[in-house]
Each structure stands twice: as C-alpha cells, then as structure tokens.
Structure 1
Amino acid sequence: MSRKIYVFDTTLRDGEQVPGAKLNRRQKLEIAEQLAKLGVDVIEAGFPCSSPEDLKAVQTVAEQVKGPVIAGLARAVPSDIDLAWEAVQKAERPRIHVFLGSSDIHLQKKLRRDRESALQQAVEAVKYAKKYCEDVEYSTEDASRSDFDYLCRVIEACVKAGATVINVPDTVGYAIPEQYGELIRRLRERVPALDKVILSVHCHNDLGLAVANSLAAIRNGAQQVECTINGVGERAGNASLEEIVMALRTRKAFYDAHTDIVTTEIYRTSRMVSRLMNIPVQPNKAIVGANAFAHSSGIHQDGILKDRSTYEIIRPEDVGVKAHSLVLTARSGRAALRHRLKELGYNLTDEQFERVHKRFLDVADRKKEISGQDLTSIVEIELTKVPETYTFQSLQIMSGNTMQPLASVTLMKDGQPHTDAATGNGPVNAVFNCIERIVGQEGKLRDYDLKAVTMGKDALGEAMVRVEINGAVYSGIGTSPDVIEASARAYVNAFNRFFANGNL
C-alpha cells in the first residue's frame, strides 16, 4: 500500500498575496467549496490578523465548507493566535497554523532576537494555540537556510509542546532538490519525535524548483505538501498543486505515494482560480495550460492518432479537460446551450443561465461558432462578476495613424445610460479615459494582458487589467470578439470591484 500524502492548499492565503489578486468573502467561499470538491485535505483559508475582512472571510469558509481541515495562519504571538481561533473555531475540523523564523538571517535581520529567545517564543506560541485547538501546525520559517542543529532543537521542542504538524518551508525558494530531500531525510533521522506528527513541506518557486523540491521531500519522508492551484503566490509563486499531484499519480511506482485528489476536478479548479484572481495561466503551463495537450508537429500528430501514449503521459480527461464536438452558433436554442453547459459540467440556476444566455447571444451574433473554450470563458466571467454598479452598453471609436483617437462609451447605472467621450494616445487608452470620466474616478493602469481564447480571425478576445484606484489595486476581466470592447469590459469590471468594496 502506497503512502498517503496530505495536500495542504494555501491558494486562499499564500496565493492571495499576489498584488491585485485580493479575493472578497464570496470569492473565497466559492474557491474553498471547489477545493473541497477537488479533495484537498487542508484549506488554509487566510491570515485572520491581516484585516477584519480576511477574518470574516476565514470565518465564512470555516462555517460553510465541510470535509477538509480549515486552517488559519498566525504569527507566534497571542493576539494573532486569538484571531486565528476566532476565525476557524466553527470549522468541522479546525487548525491553527503558527509560524516563526528559524534562520539566523530572519532572527537577526527581521526579528532582532537571539536563537534561545526565539525558541522559547515558538514553544509558548504552540502551547498557547494548543489551549484552543487540538490540531496545531508549526512552521519553521526559512528552514532551508537555518542552522541544522538549531532547526532540530526547535522542531523537537515544538512537538513536545503539542504541535501535531511540523512544516519545514523553503520560504525563499533557495533550496536545491538533492539538498532539500537530504534535509528532510536527516531531520527524520535526528528528531525521533517527528514519528509522532505529520512532517510537512512548503516550497517557493524563486529558482523554478518548488515542485521538484516538494517531490524530493516526499521521496525522503515528507507526509504533507503545501501548494497552490496554478502555482500562484507571492514573488515567483508556490509549488503547483496540479503538478505535484499528477507527478505522484503518473510516477506512482517511483514515489510509492498517492493523494486523495479528485484529478478530474483539476482543470475546473484551475480555471476558477485564474478567473477570480484574474491571473492568466501561461499557455505552456504543465497540466492546465492551453497547450498542455496540444500537438502541432506532424510527427507528434501522427503518433497521437496511432496511439495517444506515444506523446501523452497523461490523458486530458484525467484532469478534467474534455473535447466536445457539438458546435454552438447564434441559431442554437436554449436547449442546445443547456445541453452544452451540462456537458462542460455546469449546473446553473435559472438566473445564472439567463445571464449566460444573454452574453452568449451577444457574442454569437458576432462570431460564427462558439467553441467549448469560448463558452467556458463566457460562463466563468458571468458567474464570477461582482455586483455591477456600472454595466457596459456600447462604444464607438474613431482612430487612425494620422489622428488622435477618440472614444465614446455608454455605461448603464441604475437603468439609466451614461455617455461620455474622451481622447487618448490610442483607442484603448481613449476608452479607458472615457470610462474614468463616466464613473468619476481616476485609475492608473498597472498591468494589461490581451489574448485570444481560441484560434482564428474571429477568436474571442480576453482582456485582463490591474488598475490602481485610490492607492489599491483592483483586477478586471472581459471578453469579446472585439478586443477594444473586451478591454473596456475589463476596465469597467475593475471599477465595479472598487465600488463593490464600499467606495461609492
């Protein structure tokens, strides 16, 4: 029987630390419910002390999501631990996750304290958390750069104090797989107390080695892996859940380990996180990228047609990527659309279906055929919209290489049209300036990404923006066969997120 590896998902905490990817309570709950469906063992729902809103979001997840352990992160101080417990106490299976630096770099440069006082603080924090919660995880922050003997002392003391999970993070992505695997092996040999608890790892991707380091740790005895959907996270990101899970599944004989992840839910979860955080998945991303199961080489295509195993080590359907032959057009009726949505795995309420149907008709009127990818994009954007203060209605553009672009935009608010015009240094800039005039707020464009959802001249364009408004960054996403309209919809979406946060 292979070893069970526990999957600790920190998309809602570490993943949310990406600038502009902040999630509201409803969005966190939606992702958490999908993570439960995916089969993760632990959901780290947030960092409750970071803000009152995050505290409430973690409480909502703890109260409503059943199945996985729900964890809240806390620094090794009583006030943080109090808030973490307040956030997770109503969970079916609560966990308090406490952390403190263990490397001399963190102790001296950040915490300004010596090893002994930090060790005492760690022990006291675990004991304090244990008064609230039976399940306490302790993380030795920056473990991969810590003195080995001191690291052993900290781990042994925290297990004795009552920790049920010990996490050994590669916080800054400094480790090399051989070195990190060796660290895990040596810790298990040196600290017998680790046999009584779950040994966890948490790897960052600064050198592009997060997944490799996580797998090396599993190979050497780690029992829990901390990761995120699509590898999202601060700086270069975290270890990618889907890559670790599928590596263990595909090379099961080598690792002699398995997870309880429902792999057919991977692609759906990836798309949801990408949409709600407005972080596009790179096309060549392993497992969930648009090109992960695409073959353009004639030699590859010939091999695939003869036997898929020639060039595919993972079946697309195993991760929830499905090919469909039904083609939708503007003439397709509601029954065909409902059937197609059901094929794609969407069970929509009547209200949700009407929103999707309206947008489907709008796109289908301008596009010959609506592919599965087009429909997925339409559905996910419609279902993840925040309440709309302003709704995009129409735009007109006058532009050319010998004139200053001029845009006229109409937005709807409370059933009333609001129209204005503005110039810009390009048609998209003119549209953005016009939207700002209508909503009465200035924005500073921090990031702008435009891509085709499918191939062909009539491909659906998908625009993603990050806009700084009043010192905070808000993300927006929009689609349309017209890339300028897609950009406008994305910009309006970003401002609607701003207004949804009570900034009216």
Structure 2
Amino acid sequence: MKNVDKYTRGYFMPPATSLKWTQKEYIAEAPIWCSVDLRDGNQALIVPMNLEEKLEYFQMLVEIGFKEIEVGFPAASETEFAFLRTLIEQNLIPDDVTIQVLTQSREHIIRKTFQSLAGAKKAVVHLYNSTSVAQREQVFRKSKEEIIEIALTGAKLLKQCAEETEGNFQFEYSPESFTGTEIEFALEICNRVLDVWQPTAANPVIINLPATVQMSMPHVYASQIEFMSENLSYRDGVILSVHPHNDRGTGVADAELGMLAGAQRVEGTLFGNGERTGNVDVVTLALNMYSHGVDPKLNFDNIPGIIAVYERLTKMKVGERQPYGGELVFTAFSGSHQDAIAKGMQWREERAGGNWSVPYLPIDPKDIGREYEGDIIRINSQSGKGGIGYILQLKYGLDLPAKMREHFGYFVKNVSDQQQKELLPEEIHDIFMKQYVNIKTPIELVKSRFTEEEEQDFRTIVTIRADGATKEITGSGNGRLDAINNALQTHLDIEYSDLVYKEHALEIGSKSQAASYIGITASNGTVYWGCGIDADIMTSSVKALFSAVNQMLGKQ
C-alpha cells in the first residue's frame, strides 16, 4: 500500500522484559467488572440515550450482575447530571452496586461532579488527564512536569471535595492515552498521584491503564501492564484496572492478557459499543471464561433478551458474527460440521450429559438462551445429510435411516441450490412430507386384511386403486408386511429387493402416531425410499412400502 513509510510504532516497551504472564494457562477467576456502557458507550451513540432509556439500561446492567457501573460524565450535560441525581434521590442504586463518574482534571468540572454525587452511598470518582507523547506535544503543548502537575492538582482537589461532600467515595486515576506514553513516565505520574491519595489495602484506589488507542500487539500491552503492576507504589492499596479499546481488533486479547499480567479489574461494554471501533466486549470476555469452567460472576443466560433491550435502547446492531451474541455464531451450514454436531449431540444424549465437548460448539447454546432448533444447524446448498436429518429429528421427531438421510439430504440441497436460499425447518419438513410420506400415486392403498395360517404364515387381501379402478390382490408371507410385499410384486408385475425397514413412535407432535421407513432396490440398482405415518404401526409400515413402490413406479 502507498504511504506505509509514514507510520511508526508509537508505543513503548518496558525497560526490562516482563513476561511472567506467559506462564499462566488461563484466567482463573473473574475480575472486578465495571460497565462503561452508560458513559463511554453512550457518548459513542449517534443519538445518546435519554433519561428514561438510561434508567432502563442501568437496571439491565444491575440484573446482569455488574457491581460497578460508570453512569456518566455529570459535568458534561444536564441529562448526565439529572440521570445521576435521579439514581441517588430515588434510591435506585442497590446497596451492593457502586456507581462511577468520570471527570477531567479541571477544577470547575471536578466541583460540579461532586455536586452531582451528593448523598451517594458509594461512588468511584474517575479522574483522568492525557499523558501520551502526541497529546503532550500536539494538544496541550506542555512538558512532562506540567502534565504531572495537572494530575496532582486534580488528585488533591478530589480529596478536598470528597471531605466536603456527603457520600462515600473511592478514587480512580487514568493516564489517558497510556498506550502512547513512555512506560517510565506513565509509572511516574501514577505513583505521584498515589502519593497524594496514600491508599491502603483497607482503603484502595484504582489505577486504570487504558488502551485509549490500540497501538501494539496484545503481548506488548500485557508486558506494559505487568511492568506497572510490579512497580506501582502502594501496590497492596491499588486495584489495577484495564480499559481496552478495539482499534486493532484485539480488545478482548488485550484485556485477557492484561488480566494474566496483573490486572484485577476490567472496564468494558456490552457487545463492545464505544468510540471508533469500540470498547472491549464484556460479553465475550465473560463467556470466554465460562467456556473454561470459570464463573464470570455475570449472568448472560438470556443473551437474546439482552440483545433485544440493547438494540432498542442504543439503536445499535449486534453483528451476525459477534462472538456468542451474533445470530449465526452457533450455526453450521457446512455438511461436515453439521454431521459432527449432530453426532456429538447424539453422543452426549446417549451418555446423559457430562462435560461439554460437542464439536464446533465451544459452549452449550442453551446456557445463554439460544435454541438448538434454528440456531445450531441451518440448511442451504452447502448442508449435508447429518444436519438435515438432525433438523427433522429435533423438531419433528422423524429419525430417518442413515441411507435415507443421505438420499433426502441431496434432494434438499438441490432445492436450496435451485432456489438460491436458506430453507427453514418447516420448509424442509414440507419437502419431506410431499416427497416421501403416504404417497398414493400411481397406486393407492384402500385397505388390507390378514388371515393367520399355520406356522406363522400370513395371508393378505389388499384392496388397491390404480388408474381410477379398484381391485383386490392377494399374497402370503412370514409376516404381514412380507405378505403385502409379495402381493404387490406378484400381481403388479414389479420387481425389487433388499428391503430396508425402520419404525419408531413419533415423540414430537403426536405421541399416538408412528413413523415407518422403507427402502427398496429396483432391478437397475436404484434405491427408492418411502415413509408412512399412521396411528397404527402396521398401517404406517404398509403406507411406507406403498410410498417407496410409488416412488419407483413414478420414476419408470
């Protein structure tokens, strides 16, 4: 591409290699989660939420289980200020939930922020100022010492205002644009702020290290976090937090590796909503832990319901391939994938559960409110016999013989290919019923009756209708179905062999009915299939035989 030479790597590695995090296999416990949907996420919306919408969204976050929620930048607008006052004055904040507000290190903003917080049971006041080389040189045009002074002035004012304001307050500091800041300078400014606040294990503060703009690969960010974690002053009194954005598309990786490197807290949003390419997606982070058997301490057992509220209030859309939440993330169209999933589900059912290990499904979709039907296997021209058969069995209770599944699978794929569209389960069922079930032409079964003779030899009289005429044919065999089969071949002058037979009760829809499947091989080697459905198992078998024979006669 053109102009590549004008880009440089604007991040800074720690002076000493920090790679202890690479020795950890997985994240063993959930971090402290802080939702920033109502601040960072809300300010990124084309139309920010109004007061009523923010209240509804806040309630959803509480129900999900967030114990820390950044509710806004109260000095920024009257809506933000009014929202915070409504939460406090109407006692809408549960006792176990801490609200958080954001403020720049500017005196009038800090003072208005504390005005908005008066009477808060517990609140985090999040102070920030930008520290990166680009911000210092281009935006503020200040030296390092002048940038430090901005932070210290704000930190001191937070202490003063907290003492003067009714409420219970915890402090947080972010060297905003941390990823573009020299690592030694980031450490220095954070430690200078900590010297002002003098945190203890009993009264900790939060140091938040945001990937305000992603500038490096995730392992670099992790090394930066580990360096800060190991060198911060008052470490026992510091809760180390990360706030990744997603400019390089690795927000989740930044957060996960950051936690391995020592971060105890994560700020993020549902589905990654936020400025530019968004914030880190808390849903993905939490369910990644869940897939490793770690309780994320957040409740996402109804993802479809959460998505519905999220999309209605934010006017944003959850992408079809968004991890865990997207419409298609558990869906297999590929025939080989469908077959593996269907067999994996059957294997699991045969063993009555146990550890989840179904191919292609990292978690059980039902655990987050998704349905097997319509969510896991969907049918188009790329689908296979396993998936198509699975749909019929799951939704309609039709358990086709393996070879019939293959036959029907090719038929359905051709229909999808010709129509250039996905086929819904009801369309697949309709195709099956029309193509295979209770076929009455060119020969219709009117009725049959049997007489049992010696040594289990059965004799049958079958009434059939063909070409508008009704007649009776007779046959005998070692069973009822064999007797009818012999009658058809003898009196209709047709020839076939190798009957494949299967029957079962229909457990879905109507328990009183039975399904039978029969495959016959014509003299030219072609196999024809039929299905019979009836309240009587014997009648369903006979209908299946007639359906298969009619398929054969219809193709001759």
TM-score, structure 2 as length reference: 0.55
Is 1:186 equivalent to 2:212 in the alignment?
Answer: no
**Preserved CA contact (<8 Å) 1:8 1:42:** yes
1:320 is aligned, of 354, 365, 369, to: 369
Is 1:278 equivalent to 2:306 in the alignment?
Answer: no
1:384-427 deviation line (CA, Å, top 9, x unaligned):
xxxxxxxxxxxxxxxxxxxxxxxxxxxxxxxxxxxxxxxxxxxx
* Superposition RMSD in Å: 2.2
Question: Which letter does structure 2 place at the counterpart of 1:189?
Answer: E
Match in the other structure for 2:207: 166
**Preserved CA contact (<8 Å) 2:194 2:233:** no
What is the deviation of 1:124?
2.3
Match in the other structure for 2:390: none
Match in the other structure for 1:64: 92
What is the deviation of 1:183?
0.3
**Preserved CA contact (<8 Å) 2:337 2:360:** yes
Question: Which letter does structure 2 place at the counterpart of 1:61?
Answer: L
**Preserved CA contact (<8 Å) 1:9 1:40:** yes
When residues 324 and 118 of structure 1 are mapped into structure 2, their CA distance, relative to the original with a 3 A threshold, is same
Aligned runs of 1:215-254 on 2, under 5 Å? Answer: 215-251=256-292
1:73-119 deviation line (CA, Å, top 9, x unaligned):
10011221222223333333211111101112112222222211221
2:63 is aligned, of 21, 24, 37, to: 37
Q: What is the alpha-carbon distance in structure 1 between the residues aligned to residue 219 and residue 41 of structure 2? A: 26
Is 1:46 equivalent to 2:65 in the alignment?
Answer: no
Which one has the largest radius of gyration?
2
When residues 299 and 318 of structure 1 are mapped into structure 2, their CA distance, relative to the original with a 3 A threshold, is same
Match in the other structure for 1:146: 181
Partner-residue secondary structure (3-state), 1:95: strand
**Preserved CA contact (<8 Å) 1:304 1:311:** yes
Is 1:289 equivalent to 2:326 in the alignment?
Answer: yes
When residues 266 and 174 of structure 1 are mapped into structure 2, their CA distance, relative to the original with a 3 A threshold, is farther
What is the deviation of 1:69?
1.1
When residues 158 and 267 of structure 1 are mapped into structure 2, their CA distance, relative to the original with a 3 A threshold, is farther
Match in the other structure for 1:407: none
TM-score, structure 1 as length reference: 0.61
Question: Which letter does structure 2 place at the counterpart of 1:9?
Answer: S
Partner-residue secondary structure (3-state), 1:73: strand
Question: Which letter does structure 2 place at the counterpart of 1:89?
Answer: A
Question: Which letter does structure 2 place at the counterpart of 1:321?
Answer: R
Question: Which letter does structure 2 place at the counterpart of 1:261?
Answer: L
When residues 324 and 58 of structure 1 are mapped into structure 2, their CA distance, relative to the original with a 3 A threshold, is farther
* Identical pairs, percent: 26
Match in the other structure for 1:177: 218
Unaligned regions of 5+ residues in structure 1, if any? Answer: 326-368, 372-504
What is the deviation of 1:267?
4.1
What is the deviation of 1:14?
0.7
Partner-residue secondary structure (3-state), 1:50: coil
**Preserved CA contact (<8 Å) 2:126 2:173:** yes
Question: Which letter does structure 2 place at the counterpart of 1:84?
Answer: T
Is 1:16 equivalent to 2:32 in the alignment?
Answer: no
What is the deviation of 1:19?
4.2
Is 1:84 equivalent to 2:113 in the alignment?
Answer: yes
When residues 234 and 120 of structure 1 are mapped into structure 2, their CA distance, relative to the original with a 3 A threshold, is same
Is 1:155 equivalent to 2:190 in the alignment?
Answer: yes
Match in the other structure for 1:307: 344
Q: What is the alpha-carbon distance in structure 2 between the residues aligned to residue 110 and residue 321 of structure 1? A: 48
Question: Which letter does structure 1 place at the counterpart of 2:121?
Answer: E
Q: What is the alpha-carbon distance in structure 2 between the residues aligned to residue 323 and residue 74 of structure 1? A: 46
Q: Which moved more, 1:213-222 or 1:189-198?
A: 189-198
Match in the other structure for 1:269: 306
When residues 159 and 279 of structure 1 are mapped into structure 2, their CA distance, relative to the original with a 3 A threshold, is same
Q: What is the alpha-carbon distance in structure 2 between the residues aligned to residue 191 and residue 114 of structure 1? A: 22
**Preserved CA contact (<8 Å) 1:73 1:98:** yes
When residues 322 and 129 of structure 1 are mapped into structure 2, their CA distance, relative to the original with a 3 A threshold, is farther
When residues 19 and 264 of structure 1 are mapped into structure 2, their CA distance, relative to the original with a 3 A threshold, is closer
When residues 105 and 92 of structure 1 are mapped into structure 2, their CA distance, relative to the original with a 3 A threshold, is same
Partner-residue secondary structure (3-state), 2:333: coil
What is the deviation of 1:29?
0.8
Match in the other structure for 2:391: none
**Preserved CA contact (<8 Å) 2:45 2:314:** no
Q: What is the alpha-carbon distance in structure 1 between the residues aligned to residue 312 and residue 298 of structure 2? A: 21
**Preserved CA contact (<8 Å) 2:122 2:169:** no
1:204 is aligned, of 245, 258, 273, to: 245
Q: What is the alpha-carbon distance in structure 2 between the residues aligned to residue 113 and residue 148 of structure 1? A: 18
Match in the other structure for 2:102: 73
Partner-residue secondary structure (3-state), 1:310: coil
What is the deviation of 1:17?
2.1
Match in the other structure for 1:93: 122
**Preserved CA contact (<8 Å) 2:287 2:296:** no
When residues 272 and 151 of structure 1 are mapped into structure 2, their CA distance, relative to the original with a 3 A threshold, is same
**Preserved CA contact (<8 Å) 1:12 1:46:** yes
Match in the other structure for 2:255: 214
What is the deviation of 1:303?
1.8
1:254-313 deviation line (CA, Å, top 9, x unaligned):
xxx753112314443333122111111111111101112222222222222222411111
Q: What is the alpha-carbon distance in structure 2 between the residues aligned to residue 55 and residue 323 of structure 1? A: 45
**Preserved CA contact (<8 Å) 1:102 1:143:** yes
Q: What is the alpha-carbon distance in structure 1 between the residues aligned to residue 296 and residue 151 of structure 2? A: 30
Q: What is the alpha-carbon distance in structure 1 between the residues aligned to residue 32 and residue 60 of structure 2? A: 17
When residues 40 and 266 of structure 1 are mapped into structure 2, their CA distance, relative to the original with a 3 A threshold, is farther
Q: What is the alpha-carbon distance in structure 2 between the residues aligned to residue 21 and residue 228 of structure 1? A: 17
**Preserved CA contact (<8 Å) 1:5 1:224:** yes
Question: Which letter does structure 2 place at the counterpart of 1:64?
Answer: L
Aligned runs of 1:440-459 on 2, under 5 Å? Answer: none
What is the deviation of 1:249?
2.2
Partner-residue secondary structure (3-state), 1:311: coil
**Preserved CA contact (<8 Å) 1:10 1:228:** yes
**Preserved CA contact (<8 Å) 1:21 1:279:** no
Q: What is the alpha-carbon distance in structure 2 between the residues aligned to residue 21 and residue 210 of structure 1? A: 24
When residues 170 and 20 of structure 1 are mapped into structure 2, their CA distance, relative to the original with a 3 A threshold, is same
Question: Which letter does structure 1 place at the counterpart of 2:330?
Answer: F
Aligned runs of 1:111-126 on 2, under 5 Å? Answer: 111-126=140-155
When residues 323 and 81 of structure 1 are mapped into structure 2, their CA distance, relative to the original with a 3 A threshold, is farther
Q: Which moved more, 1:296-305 or 1:24-33?
A: 296-305
Q: What is the alpha-carbon distance in structure 1 between the residues aligned to residue 106 and residue 280 of structure 2? A: 27
Is 1:137 equivalent to 2:178 in the alignment?
Answer: no
What is the deviation of 1:324?
7.7
Question: Which letter does structure 1 place at the counterpart of 2:283?
Answer: E
What is the deviation of 1:49?
1.5
Question: Which letter does structure 2 place at the counterpart of 1:11?
Answer: D
What is the deviation of 1:322?
4.2
Q: What is the alpha-carbon distance in structure 2 between the residues aligned to residue 166 and residue 320 of structure 1? A: 36
